[in-house]
Structure 1
């Protein structure tokens, strides 16, 4: 199966609760993260792939607190996931929302040549 090179978010039927408070909703949030996320050079050189999970609380004033990496892949992917999550801007929810956001790092190559690039 063909994959897009770079990074993204797992979109497999999972709704991210805070996405309702992102301008444009979940798809807009995914698009922003995909645009901003850069594959760390060390991770790319070492062919490191996988899912980072960042957790945080969205406060009633629209700010985030307690942003932390719950699971990382290494090679700078966790730091990059944290950097991009900190860039997200949300509308104000009525109550605090504790959530986690999965961010996938994939070297998007297809077929038998996957490990040669």
Structure 2
């Protein structure tokens, strides 16, 4: 009986230590807040509205009824310029390229430092 209890206690300790050692990935999708929005005129609501207003749904994606979220990663430079754009996640059918095009249109205020950000672009029919 003592052996069974000590084994259970040891297993519980290992599981608890593993839970504290796990670091949840930091993504925009989980938090719902866009850190880069603080550098955009009008904040997050304005940023998301601009993205949705600028999207031209790709014909192939529309025909195949593709929906979902594309994530574009980029570096925001000290002067507010966007560099090193890349598609981190795409739905397919040309949605990644369209999301890349729309993010390139964004104009940010100069933060005074360089940092990497990611922005989700939603495609919904």
Does TM-score exceed 0.5, indicating one fold?
yes
SS at match of 2:85: strand
- TM-align CA RMSD: 1.6
1:80 equivalenced with 2:98 (yes/no): yes
Q: Which has the higher contact order (CA 8 A, sep 6+)?
A: 1
Question: Normalising to structure 1: TM-score of the pair?
Answer: 0.78
Distance 2:119 2:32 in 1: 10
Written as runs of structure 1 = structure 2, the 5 A alignment for 1:6-17 is: 14-17=32-35
Report the counterpart of residue 58 of structure 2 in structure 1: 40
Per-residue deviation, 1:13: 5.2
Aligned length: 98
CA contact 2:29–2:120 (8 Å) conserved in 1? no
Change (3 A) 1:30 1:11: farther
1:13-24 alignment, distance < 5 Å: 14-24=32-42
Q: More helix per residue: 1 or 2?
A: 2
Q: How does 1:1-117 map to 2 (within 5 A)?
A: 14-107=32-125
